[in-house]
Amino acid sequence: MNRFTSRRLADGREITYVDDPDAPVRSAVDTRPLGDRLPSGELRRDALVGDWVAVAGHRQGRTFLPPKDECPLCPTGRGSVPSEVPETSYEVAVFENRFPSYAPVSLGARSVDASGLFETRPALGRCEVVCFTSDHEGSFKDLPVERVRRVVDTWAERTTALGQLEQVEHVFCFENRGREIGVTLHHPHGQIYAYPYLPARTAQLLARAQEHQAATGRLLGADLLAAEQADGSRIVLTSEHWSAYVPFAARWPVEVHLAPHRDVPDLPALDDAERDDLAVVYRELLQRLDRYYVGPDGEPITLPYMAAWHQAPVRVGRDASRLHLQLMSVLRAPGKLKYLAGSESGVGGWITDVPPERQAARLREVAS
């Protein structure tokens, strides 16, 4: 059970605390002189590929790797300045990003130039920050299982809430960890983006899923999971409700997919047993990632990673979509990064440096 408490920050942005029902009531007031909240930027249509690009110039001024005592994600009172979280402690906190790529307020309007090639629209939507713990030095993999379950419930609740916004077409929960990935804050946190359109990869995943369903009458995600289970060489772990595997055509030097055994479109559709099991399995996977590489001194290397929840769009293709998590890292060896250079960035021609079967074998070796 969780208690969700909604409050407002000084500039009107929403903050939600996720607590045990018996925890103290959250009532702290944000007294910072923030002024008005920043509006959204704009979306520009890329006529070459038909996709949208968010232009958000105000993000250039966002907080970048501040000292620990100025961390905006720590509870207020722990540092030298008030933070984004007015409370002096918290378990899980979710708030609207102060420097959003997408926001619910906009100063612009939709426009198309005379050529019909330059189309602009407001970047309406929402960007939220999810703080997993108040411990600045913590890590997701070190959270107690009960806290991981609370984060899972938070993802599910926010997916439902954001999906009810009129302008939102897709909700994406993710975490970036490590300076190599490009994080600007080290405090353990993730983000949730609520897009006013289907991002390119989401649209591609949906198109393939719909093609497969039309041809076979089955879900592509379910058939892929069954095929990986039958092959077995890339399976990393299996529990009662979940299986993790390195995909047959893995792109990243370290890449793992985690899929439920039951066909569900999104996080809110998971039942209590599946969420309980996910909290254990996901934590185990993250712990294995931090044992994947060993440095010259014989000590494990903290792995930079991206964790991306692929779930059904809000309004279309839900009957063809199947939930899965994608974990990936740019580290191809200790001290060596996988750069998305000419082939990958220029034409999308991926070249992987580490065979998927070798990845899976290593992830099995480092089991708890």
Q: What is the pLDDT of residues 11-47, one digit of tens each?
A: 999 999 999 999 989 999 999 999 999 888 899 999 9
143-169 burial, b for 16+ CB within 10 Å, e for fewer? Answer: beeebbbbbbbbbbbbbebbbebebbb
* Tokens found for residue 212: 């497969």
DSSP class of residue 79?
Answer: S
Name the phi and psi angles at 226, rounded to 5: -65, -40
Average pLDDT over residues 185-214: 98
Upper half-sphere CA count for residue 136 (Cβ side, 13 Å): 17
Q: Which residue has the higher pLDDT, 274 or 38?
A: 274
CB 188 within 8 A of CB 135: yes
pLDDT given for residue 45 in this prediction:
97
pLDDT given for residue 106 in this prediction:
85
Which segments of 48-157 are extended strands (E)?
Answer: 51-55, 92-96, 111-112, 119-122, 126-131
Instruction: Provide the pLDDT confidence category of residue 107 given band limits of 50, 70 and 90.
Output: confident
The C-alpha atoms of residue 125 and residue 44 are separated, in whole angstroms, by 15
Active site residues: 189
Over 90: is that where the pLDDT of 203 sits? yes
Average pLDDT over residues 292-302: 96
Radius of gyration of the chain (CA): 21
The pLDDT tens digits of the residues spanning 146-166 come to 999 999 999 999 999 999 999
Instruction: Provide the pLDDT confidence category of residue 62 given band limits of 50, 70 and 90.
Output: confident
Average pLDDT over residues 88-117: 94
The C-alpha atoms of residue 84 and residue 25 are separated, in whole angstroms, by 18
pLDDT given for residue 129 in this prediction:
98
Over 90: is that where the pLDDT of 57 sits? no
Instruction: Provide the pLDDT confidence category of residue 244 given band limits of 50, 70 and 90.
Output: very high
Out of 178-187, 241-250, 258-267, 274-283, pick the least confident. Answer: 178-187
CB 160 within 8 A of CB 268: yes
The C-alpha atoms of residue 227 and residue 248 are separated, in whole angstroms, by 10
Over 90: is that where the pLDDT of 83 sits? yes
Mean of all residue pLDDT scores within the chain: 96
> Coil, strand or helix: which one is 235?
strand
Average pLDDT over residues 321-334: 97
pLDDT given for residue 15 in this prediction:
98
pLDDT given for residue 262 in this prediction:
98
DSSP for 237-261, written as a single string: EE-SSEEEE--TT--SSEEEEEEES
Over 90: is that where the pLDDT of 108 sits? no
pLDDT given for residue 60 in this prediction:
86
Instruction: Provide the pLDDT confidence category of residue 51 given band limits of 50, 70 and 90.
Output: very high
CB 332 within 8 A of CB 338: yes
Q: E strand or H helix at 194, and its extent? A: strand 189-195
Which domains are present in the chain? 3-197 (3.30.428.10), 201-365 (3.30.428.10)
Over 90: is that where the pLDDT of 174 sits? yes
Q: Is 116 left (phi over 0), alpha (psi -120 to 50) or beta?
A: left
Q: Which of 244, 241, 312 lies closest to 272, judged by CA?
A: 241
Instruction: Provide the pLDDT confidence category of residue 238 given band limits of 50, 70 and 90.
Output: very high
Average pLDDT over residues 55-73: 91
pLDDT given for residue 1 in this prediction:
87
Over 90: is that where the pLDDT of 89 sits? yes
Instruction: Provide the pLDDT confidence category of residue 64 given band limits of 50, 70 and 90.
Output: confident
Over 90: is that where the pLDDT of 90 sits? yes
Over 90: is that where the pLDDT of 58 sits? no
